[in-house]
């Protein structure tokens, strides 16, 4: 019985032990570090067995140029998602914005109802290479020419 209680306590604290925070920085109005409770309070979505917050909603929280602000030179903006182990992938703001690509890309913190380290989940990708496990930072970069 004690082992069951210990396991249940571990599951409840798992989100905290993963170091659940996400830094959103770069070319945004308000760089922010979101903790697990911040993400939990945002609008939630489900993609297959994953649950979390849409990447575009996380970026909006930091003031990234989305929705009506995504035009002209702002269309050269991309997001560099980086994992704890250094793995990196890029998403364009155009593919995330509802007026353009409207891709359903998730910053997941739960799988099958259980807490997991933050992870980018790309629902419509045919290959899993843009799935970023142990997500730590999102850097918004506007190309300048």
- The CA distance from 116 to 7, in Å, is 15
| Class level of CATH domain 2-142 | alpha beta
**pLDDT at residue number 128:** 81
Question: What band does 1 get if pLDDT is binned at 50, 70 and 90?
Answer: low
**Per-residue model confidence as pLDDT tens digits over 37-88:** 999 999 999 999 999 999 999 999 999 999 888 989 899 999 999 999 999 9
Identify the DSSP state of 100: T
> What pTM was computed for the model?
0.84
């Amino acid at each position: 019985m004690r082992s069951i209680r210990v396991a249940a306590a571990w599951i409840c604290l798992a989100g905290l032990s993963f170091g659940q925070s996400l830094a959103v920085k770069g070319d945004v109005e308000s760089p922010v570090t979101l903790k697990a409770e911040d993400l939990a309070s945002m609008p939630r979505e489900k993609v297959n067995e994953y649950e979390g917050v849409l990447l575009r909603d996380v970026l909006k929280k930091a003031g990234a140029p989305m929705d009506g602000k995504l035009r002209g030179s702002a269309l050269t903006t991309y997001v560099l998602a980086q994992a704890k182990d250094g793995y990196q992938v890029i998403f364009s703001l155009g593919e995330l914005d509802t007026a353009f690509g409207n891709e359903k890309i998730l910053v997941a913190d739960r799988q099958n109802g259980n807490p997991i380290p933050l992870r980018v989940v790309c629902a419509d990708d045919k290959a899993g290479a843009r799935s970023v496990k142990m997500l730590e930072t999102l850097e918004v970069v506007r190309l300048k020419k």
